[in-house]
Amino acid sequence: MTVTLALLKETDPAAFAEAADAWGRLAEAMDDRLDEFVADSRDLATVWPTGTEAEQRAAALRVEIADTHEPCRKISQALRAHGDAVWQLQGMLGAIVAECAGNGLTVDLTTATVSPAPGSVTDTAQAARMPGLVQGYNEQLRDLAARAAQLDEQTGAAVRACMPAPGGPGAGPEFATCTPLDEINGKTPTEVYDWWQSLSRAQQDQLIRDFPERIGWLDGVPAADRDEANRTALENRKQQVLRQLQLPTLERDALEKELRNIHKVEEALNKLGDKGFLLGVDAGAYDGHGKLVIAVGDPDTARHAGVWVPGLDSTLYGDMDTNLDRMIQMNREADRLTGGRGGDVSTVYWLGYDAPDLDNPSVLLEDRSVAGRDPYLNFMNGLRATHEGDPAHLVAMGHSYGSTVVGEAARTGSLPVDDIVVAGSPGMHVDNASQLHGDSRHVWAGASSTDPVADAKFLGPWDKIMVGAASPVAGVALWGAETAADSTHGDAPTSPGFGANNWVADTGGHTSYWNQGSDSLKNQARILAGMYSQTTLNSGERPEDIR
């Protein structure tokens, strides 16, 4: 339909306001009903284990229903704005018509032109100025008609962009405004971040609500959104496990173990309060060992962020309290060095891989560190992508076999860190610090004089293997197995000739590097805070402090 000034004059702006109200009510109704549908359909797999296709279709419908709210809201806004604009244009048209009548001109609203009214020209002076009046009013009317046509086109485009696929919701696998998660498979964290930022807040909320497990592990999604998604996923999984435990099942032991893991994560989050960010959780992964990424402090806003990988026999349940306390201690110690600016430091506990077990020779092999390499790389690149403001001082940190994971990631040349800090390392799969970082001054290694894991120089390869094969009851399997790993993981980074800065570790054994008040803890915190000049070294060369 051609938009004319006659159509503009006859249009009722109130009709658009009424339509806008109707679309607004529909948006609110869809949002109100979504939670009911999610609650009724999310756990379909629990009550109907073989209904895989039904569960997939239900998930797709949840997306369509959730995506309906935002388009309806946008249509409401577009129609309301259209009605207001029509009212304004009608006012301008009325003013022009009134002026024309006062000057003896008639207006043709269909052609948007004016002409002298019969008998209106009574003298030569009036006749002389009439052509100028006609030209001026014709230009005003043409401009007004063009603005009306442009308004109609813009509103139509806004409404069409929000309409569903042909057939409406349920007719096809996707809603017109839905960006499926499958489209970002294989994307880099930076690309994921750009995609996430392209979504409206309502779309982001919908994805967090409907696919929390996937959003929670998606590198490139900001920490606050991942935290919300993972907390949702954790609660959903807990409720699902509780329901499954009420039914006869052959998986009771595994479910009870997973529930204990879930409770441990909840306890950790309660302990951390507002400083806790849950960046990844799978309480049932790796035969119940679990996967967990939890931050003390927001890594997206911190000026200094350290991501620490634990080592041998680390599980979600077994030693999470100890490992979390280490991150808390590290965070506090480093935060003291940042000039009183609280929140400048974030320490992340990254158990995103299957750590080697004490009761098998996995620690002697490279498999677990290789498997952890890409997830760690993606996570670190994700932190780079999502950080707000100036780039953070990002530090890779590892203990024991965790340092081997860090080394495996660093030697690719794609680990985007400023410093690498390891403690009690059996080796990092390289021969020299320069293979880990372009500036060896930013590779730091510490080891206690009584740490048998890092003290490999006193044992030959065969000796190490023999020690590693000793009885766990004798108390040497833990140390022997990981010490034996040195024969396959390369020289310890504290060894002469490796080229790393060897920081002073004044604690004893393999697990005391985070003792409060120790130089071991303080040196790691000094590096994390960029206060290199304050570190105490056995050997090496300090870089300039970060200011």
Span 450-502, pLDDT tens digits: 988 776 443 444 444 443 443 343 334 444 444 443 456 678 899 889 999 99
Neighbours of 238 (CB within 10 A): 17
pLDDT, position 484: 40
Structure tokens at 169: 């919701």
Go through 493-512 and write b for each residue having 16 or more CB atoms within 10 A of its CB, e for each that does not.
bbbeebbbbbbebbbeebbb
Q: Which residues contact 403 (CB under 8 A, 6 or more apart)?
A: 309, 311, 422, 423, 424, 425, 426, 428, 493
pLDDT, position 169: 46
Contact 505, 317 (CB under 8 A): no
Q: Distance from CA of residue 290 to its chain's centroid?
A: 20
Per the document, the length of the chain is: 547
pLDDT, position 50: 43
| DSSP3 helix / strand / coil % (the chain, rounded to 5) | 55, 10, 35
Cα–Cα distance measured from residue 85 to residue 99, given in angstroms and rounded to the nearest whole number = 21
In 269-388, where do the E strands start and end?
276-282, 291-296, 304-309, 345-351
Cα–Cα distance measured from residue 401 to residue 308, given in angstroms and rounded to the nearest whole number = 12
Which pLDDT tens digit goes with each residue over 29-55? 777 766 565 555 555 444 444 445 555
Strand partners, 116: 105
% residues pLDDT > 90 (the chain): 52
DSSP category for residue 172: S
Cα–Cα distance measured from residue 310 to residue 320, given in angstroms and rounded to the nearest whole number = 10
Angle formed at CA 11 by CA 6 and CA 14, multiple of 5 degrees: 160
Q: Which residues contact 171 (CB under 8 A, 6 or more apart)?
A: 164, 165
Mean pLDDT of 503-530: 96
Cα–Cα distance measured from residue 383 to residue 377, given in angstroms and rounded to the nearest whole number = 10
Closest C-alpha to 350, from 311, 389, 312: 311
* Domains located in the chain, CATH noted: 5-178 (1.20.1260), 256-539 (3.40.50.1820)
Tell me what the pLDDT averaged over the chain comes to.
Answer: 84
Cα–Cα distance measured from residue 530 to residue 543, given in angstroms and rounded to the nearest whole number = 9
Cα→Cα distances 148→5, 8, 110, 524, Å: 8, 7, 13, 67
What letter represents residue 346's amino acid? S
| pTM for the predicted model, two decimal places | 0.66
Question: Quick one: pLDDT band at residue 59, thresholds 50, 70, 90?
Answer: low
What letter represents residue 248's amino acid? P
Pairing of strands 291-296, 345-351: antiparallel
Which pLDDT tens digit goes with each residue over 251-301? 899 999 999 999 999 999 999 999 999 999 999 888 888 999 999 999 999
